[in-house]
Structure 1
Amino acid sequence: MLKILGLLGGLSLAGLLQAADYAALPAGALQQVRLDELHPTQAVVGHGQIHYKLGRLAKEPGKLFDEYCEANGQGESSRVPAGASVHRPDSFTCQGAVGSRSSEMKTVVVGPGGRLFLTDGHHTFTTLWEQPQAGAALRVWVKVTDNFSDSPDLASFWQRMQQARKVWLRDGQGRPISAQQIPAQLGLDSLADDPYRALVYFTREVAYDKPRSGDVAPEFLEFYWGSWLRERLPLADYDLNEPRGYRAALAAAAELMVAQPADAPLGASGFTARQLGGYTQVDRRELGKVATRKLGYLFQYRQAH
């Protein structure tokens, strides 16, 4: 136990004691875990994206089961009887079995002490964490991409994670941080806000989409777009606290994104706009839907909270 405590540094003793040891999990394994067993690999999320999701779930409670099924690689929900609960998977059905759509599952890396470090899914799982009908104790399925549990110490582990591009070391203002500044758990109280990350989420299917063929989309794809936009779009010029201002920022971001040459590197990321799913023109119809429906849920949630 003392050895594991030394490896995991700032993780709380309470969190450590409740975490299982997943050190034996190989790459490709599927594992069911509690949300509070997952350690983030980033210190920020786009709060606006999560507020939108929570606002929609408040108006459409059945979407919670879609979120849960999709996260488990099962497609959407197919039958949700009255009284069903995501805490009781046998109380409803999804379109497929767990992992039948494994490419859509959230991913983890096994780290020192057999701890699981989440590399994709911070927004979905934080939404579930904050949802009253789900919460931190909710059990979900994740897919292992790498096992780095043989790292001799936490510093070596984070170095391997950086080399593999599986950690995002920036704060909400885009400033560099150390791995030790990443919080130990999910949730809006732990993860700070990066407004550019939220803005990029709302441009999905408007100015870009995650690549669905060829190379696998890199982790933190939206953060690469967000960092690039941060250098070109001053959000201080827009009032993101009211719908009209947010719509204007969204439209400006989309125009900048589609104007980027497809094969030119996107800032310091080294990835091109094509590799990050960039469009060559704005999808105006989708932009209109986002501006009315998605931003509608976002501001309804914020007004209620």
Structure 2
Amino acid sequence: MASPYMTFSREQWRGLRASTPLTISDEELACLQGLNEKLSLSEVADIYLPLSRLLNLYVGATQELYHATHTFLGKQDKKVPFIIGIAGSVAVGKSTTARILQTLLSRWPNHPKVDLVTTDGFLYPNRVLEERGLMKRKGFPESYNTKRLVSFLSDVKSGVPEVAAPVYSHLVYDIVPGEWQVVREPDILIVEGLNVLQTPVDEKQRRVTEVFVSDFFDFSIYVDAREEDIMKWYVERFKLLRETAFSNPASYFRRYANLTDEEATAVATSIWTEINGINLRKNILPTRGRAQLILEKGPDHMVQSVKLRRL
């Protein structure tokens, strides 16, 4: 059966960069990458520059389409943000992908204002999760206030001048009361999260008029890797966090700061097995085929191939 995707090797994808300039320095990349992701500028040049060029072309075409529609309707041009969704497992590197793309896309002249919002801010507060018995299902679809996220994206797409998103703290592992991220008419909005391509798992819950988060996306990306590699990265990151975030007295995970390597490996593996791995297989991985582009990573966190959905 023919695939809905065109598949590009790393070498083939690199060739699509054309003359797109590299606008990120080593110092900037060090600030953008994740704790245990040691990406090189060659990874940016080979993978993310061609992707930024593709997205720039999509943004330009979409802007022209909106302009044509407004001309037909006899209305004044109104800026409509181009929204990019980025999905993938915990620890797969989607946050790094989002930050690198935000930086690269903001340096194209026709869309300099690029905002990034993570769906962590739309998790229910811990008190609500505790009331509903969902603390061990944090990150699963039911742990998010999806209605609020849909409302947020609807307002952004409708051109509301200022739209506020709740702020989540990974340090305290909870929503920060009274703190907001305000989005003010960006040219591009990147929305990064585990379940941004999710549709209702239970078909009985589906409604003809139901609106999904992905309905607001102009382009979607899934960051993919083998589960055994993702689990290894998760365990490595957990062990590194003992010396950084976990050592902070305010950290929700302060109790893990003094674990030995063996103890930390056991705890992280248990969390993956009981929570993150299940969420990946049941909820996240099944949405991969809904993405317009898939970045396929190898064991070293480097992208080995790219799949682009056929038009």
TM class by smaller structure = under 0.3
Q: TM-score, normalised by structure 2?
A: 0.25
- Larger RCO of the pair (alpha carbons < 8 Å, separation 6+): 2
